[in-house]
Amino acid sequence: MTSFVKRGTALVCLMGVLTMTGCGTMSTRGKNTAIGAGIGAVGGAVLTGGSALGTVGGAAIGGYIGNQIHKR
């Protein structure tokens, strides 16, 4: 996979995260989940060379970690 496609995938995921975090009605935990999922998706895509499974898996793991941060 070319570096152009990798950068494009990362940019799309980052833009999704930025869009979701702009939602003022989300709870802190919801924002953490969205941010974690976005970062995880980008990380999964980069680590697996843009694999859809790696991207989805990274998003799931990142979302879970983000959801558990500051859990009471």
Name the band, by pLDDT with cuts 50, 70 and 90, for residue 30: confident
Residues 41-52, mean pLDDT to the nearest whole number: 87
Mean pLDDT estimate for the chain? 82
Place of tokens 């790696």: 54
Q: Is pLDDT above 70 for 22?
A: no
Residues 50-60, mean pLDDT to the nearest whole number: 88
Q: Output 25 or 37, whichever has higher pLDDT.
A: 37
Q: Taking the domains of the chain in order of start, what are their residue ranges?
A: 27-72
Do residues 42 and 13 touch, judged by C-beta distance below 8 A?
yes
Instruction: Determine the angle formed by the axes of helices 28-47 and 52-68, rounding to 10 degrees.
Output: 150
Helix ranges (DSSP H) in the chain: 3-21, 28-47, 52-68
- What is the reported pTM? 0.66
